[in-house]
Amino acid sequence: MFHREGHKIIFTTLVFVVGSFFLIDEFMTIEWLRKALMIAVLIIFVLILQFFRNPKRHTHTNENNALSPVDGKVVVIEEVFEKEFLKEKCIQVSVFMSPLNVHVTRYPVTGTIVYSKYHPGKYLVAWHPKSSEENERTTVVIENNRFGKVLYRQIAGALARRIVNYAKVNTMATQGADSGFIKFGSRVDLFLPLNADIKVEINQSVRGGETIIAEVK
């Protein structure tokens, strides 16, 4: 199953692959080079398919849990002051996605979307300390019955050139449901209240819509 954001790119790449195979077969007479070029083109297509895959996730909705919004590795767990919307101290949990991870963004909690904003910006590497404030990004805040206001931020990286955000203010977010997509590598920051009981560790691998990031104490 592939994400809808990848349908056009997959189709375009398929056309490129078929055309390349035809040209290589027609004009390349050196047998080993002919095979090598065909394999290289095929690898490119497989990588594109890999990037836009959208596997089914088994989300067990629970208002006492905040789930990981994306697949990847936990790179930050720290107390910070969130100054864009919450304007208070929070626990920030950041998940870094490599180009090989699933890049679907999912709602970490269920609730009403009270804020959703796109910010143009730079393309610093996703693990850069200033990427959360200076890179292209989107910020979404969900009002949840147990956690209160939960903020998550999609952040573009050095390779990511397009962030897709489906969250719209005054609509309902369902925990684990598709909320967007980041093309070609990045990270997501999740901001939780200070009383949240964090259940993950630095360098832990997490799965979007399944791994519990925090519980309400």
pLDDT digits (tens, 9 = 90+) for 46-62: 877 777 777 788 898 99
Whether the Cβ atoms of residue 187 and residue 126 lie closer than 8 Å to each other: yes
Same domain, 38 and 115: no
pLDDT tens for 116-174 read 999 986 656 555 555 566 678 899 999 999 999 999 999 886 555 578 899 999 999 99
Same domain, 101 and 29: no
Same domain, 170 and 125: yes
pLDDT for residue 125? 58
Q: How far apart are CA 73 and CA 212, in angstroms?
A: 13
* Domain range enclosing 182: 65-216
Active site (catalytic) residues: 186
Q: How far apart are CA 39 and CA 15, in angstroms?
A: 16
pLDDT for residue 137? 87
Which is more confidently placed, 132 or 28? Answer: 28
pLDDT tens for 169-203 read 999 999 999 999 887 668 899 999 999 999 999 99
CATH number for the domain that contains residue 89: 2.70.70
Same domain, 78 and 46: no
Same domain, 27 and 82: no
Q: How far apart are CA 20 and CA 172, in angstroms?
A: 46
Same domain, 42 and 71: no
Does 59 fall in a domain? Answer: no
Same domain, 46 and 139: no
Q: How far apart are CA 1 and CA 7, in angstroms?
A: 11
Does 57 fall in a domain? Answer: no
Sheet strands side by side (includes 104-106): 104-106, 178-183, 162-165
What three-state secondary structure class fits 195? coil
Which CA distances in Å does 92 have to 1, 106, 194?
31, 17, 9
Does 9 fall in a domain? Answer: yes
Same domain, 46 and 93: no
Does 60 fall in a domain? Answer: no
Q: How many domains does the chain have?
A: 2
